[in-house]
Amino acid sequence: MDVFHVTDQNGNKIIDESVLKYIEQSLGNIHYGRTNLSNGLTALELTGTDRVGLLSEVFAVLADLQCDVVESKVWTHNGRIASLIYVKDSSSGSAIEDSQKINKIELRLRNVLKGDNDIRSAKISFSMAVMHTERRLHQLMFVDRDYERAPILKLTSDNASVTVQNWEGRGYSVVNVQCKDRTKLLFDIVCNLTDMEYVVFHATINTDGDRAYLEFYIRHKDGTPISSEPERQRVIQCLKAAVERRASEGVRLELCTEDRQGLLAEVVRTFRENGLNVTRAEISTIGNMAKNIFYVTDAIGNPADSKIIESVRQKIGLSNLEVKELPLINHQEAEREDQAVGMGGAVLLSIGSLVRRNLYHLGLIKSCS
């Protein structure tokens, strides 16, 4: 039994019946692994060493090869980049199935990703399968072992605190995470625990102001707890990485304009030419409109100069590219009474910031006595 106390992104009570209905339907279809992307698209998975302007080069190659980017998400962490890009053929408007074209795309993107010194770790793959984008990005970075690498750019000032201890009497490993609260935090942590092949049996999650406190009681799939110090350290590293991947700081820029071929390549090229580094991106196309979100810093990870931001907006279009503040997560004092309590085999989860479309992934959590 899992109980969730949720709010919208701004900390307000959810009263929209359509939203509540959507949550119910998502939880009801928890085992189907649905995504909002339809068939007819080709998925490109990219991982490699991050550098300023890399994203500009990637999208320029795709535009040159007549590939339209329909949707994409890009994460950077500890000097690494992972991206899942959904494309279609510009001419036919359908998935790219021509093997020669696929080989050409792979060859050119591999040359871009490997640069001068990343021949081994640059990876590209194609897929026609439907998958959850953010879940897959976590898996790509986990396989890339980003958690073992030292950060190159200073992207976040908030460091997560993670501790792991064994509860010998009950045979659990107890994981505690304390960090700044944000949307999709629980999703990120649970996905990584699952990808590391741990099972969550009990959990208590609470928020206080802008802080989140999460505690998980986990075991291996065979029912055993964490058994060695190297394994314990690995769990700590991986969970810190899970928190940090989506927590990169930077100015949030939102682009909303009529879509056209080569638009995305032009926008990110403008960023590069003005010394802006994209630390995270969310690309989407709705009808004939492009709706994109970019998080940008300067070349070394510091806050971008406001004058440069305004210059970029002038070039792209003031009405098209807007500076958006990150939403504040507000919590009502009354919610503090609903702190996490475990009774018998039931688990009460109090979550202040979980985006509704990700709730269904929490079927990964098991509750038992």
pLDDT at 353: 34
Task: Give the residue among 229, 230, 205, 233 at the shortest CA–CA distance from 217.
Answer: 205
pLDDT at 360: 35
Same domain, 215 and 256: no
Q: What is the pLDDT of residues 300-325, one digit of tens each?
A: 888 899 999 999 999 999 999 999 86
109/35 Cα distance (integer angstroms): 26
Same domain, 318 and 193: no
CATH of the domain at 117: 3.30.70.260
Same domain, 65 and 130: yes
Q: Is 78 helix (H, G, I), strand (E, B) or coil?
A: coil
pLDDT at 36: 42
Asked if residue 254 is part of any domain, the answer here is yes
- Domain containing 58 equals 42-149+249-324
pLDDT at 150: 76
Compute CA distances 10 → 7, 21, 164, 212, 245, whole Å.
7, 20, 31, 15, 22
188/279 Cα distance (integer angstroms): 18
Residues of the chain with pLDDT below 50 are 31-38, 326-369
pLDDT at 212: 95
Same domain, 314 and 233: no
pTM of the model: 0.80
